[in-house]
């Protein structure tokens, strides 16, 4: 078995474990509900994507285009520039970003705590001709539990338009960064809007193994691209 296939098998086993741990997540029934795992009060607008072209939603909503479509395109260009071949997207919503990655020969899976969106994603992938499961039920907490102890398993982990959401457990975020320092070379993530929280998390992240090599604003939310310092010395 090739090294790549071995990695893919382990990633899938850990995603299956993540989903099993996540089956106990209490699903919300209205836009006003949140809980310890689901931090967003509204479902993302569910728009079908049939190919790699921009959808009508983004053509008609400039803010959504800037904060999602344009961000995704730039992230994919960064991935290509850094030879990223395997990505995991935390908080993937309808997994549109992972779909675009896969159309650019970047294998990308997604985890999402809202089961409705996971089901929608896998159905939409099948309608696009991708039969393999690419979305799994999961949260930051269950990702931490499932990927703890993995070494250099992923090329990149993306946390796009998710980290800045309200009420994330700071303990879970600190643990997330520690898990990421072992399992991935790169991280592309949104940053907490609260400055004090953002600075504390950045200090913790950089005290581990990561350093920021790019940062940009998309709408009101900043995103940063980090590289594992061990890999920076190899470049």
CATH of the domain at 13: 3.40.50.150
pLDDT tens per residue, range 182-191: 999 999 998 8
d(CA 99, CA 112): 15
Q: Is the per-residue pLDDT at 137 higher than 60? A: yes
Q: Is the per-residue pLDDT at 89 higher than 60? A: yes
Flag whether 42 is in a domain: no
Give me the mean pLDDT over the 104-108 stretch. 97
Phi and psi angles of residue 184, each rounded to the nearest 5 degrees, phi first: -145, 155
pTM of this prediction? 0.90
Flag whether 113 is in a domain: yes
Give me the mean pLDDT over the 195-220 stretch. 81
Flag whether 188 is in a domain: yes
pLDDT band of 235, cuts 50, 70, 90: very low
Note whether 75 and 104 are within 8 A (CB): no
Flag whether 206 is in a domain: yes
Give me the mean pLDDT over the 54-74 stretch. 90
Is the backbone of residue 21 left (phi > 0), alpha (psi -120 to 50) or beta?
alpha
Q: How many domains does the chain fold into?
A: 1
Flag whether 30 is in a domain: no
Distance of CA 132 to the CA centre of its chain: 18
**Residue length of the chain:** 235
Flag whether 219 is in a domain: yes
């Amino acid at each position: 078995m090739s090294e790549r296939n071995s990695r893919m098998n382990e990633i899938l086993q850990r995603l299956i474990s993540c989903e099993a741990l996540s089956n106990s997540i209490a699903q919300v029934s209205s836009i006003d509900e949140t809980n310890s795992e689901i931090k967003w009060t509204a479902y993302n607008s569910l728009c079908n994507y049939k190919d790699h072209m921009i959808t009508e939603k983004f053509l008609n909503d400039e803010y959504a285009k800037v904060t999602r479509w344009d961000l995704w395109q730039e992230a994919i260009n960064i991935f290509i520039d850094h030879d990223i071949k395997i990505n995991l997207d935390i908080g993937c919503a309808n997994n549109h970003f992972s779909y675009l990655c896969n159309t650019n020969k970047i294998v990308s899976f997604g985890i999402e705590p809202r089961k409705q969106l996971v089901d929608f994603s896998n159905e939409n992938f099948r309608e696009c001709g991708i039969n393999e499961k690419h979305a799994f039920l999961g949260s930051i907490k269950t990702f931490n539990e499932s990927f703890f102890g993995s070494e250099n398993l992923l090329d990149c982990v993306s946390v796009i338009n998710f980290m800045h959401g309200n009420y994330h457990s700071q303990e879970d975020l600190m643990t997330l960064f520690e898990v990421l320092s072992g399992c991935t070379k790169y991280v592309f993530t949104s940053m907490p809007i609260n400055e004090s929280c953002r600075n504390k998390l950045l200090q913790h992240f950089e005290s581990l193994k990561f350093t920021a090599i790019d940062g940009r604003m998309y709408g009101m939310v900043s995103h940063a691209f980090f590289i594992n310092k061990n890999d920076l010395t190899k470049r």
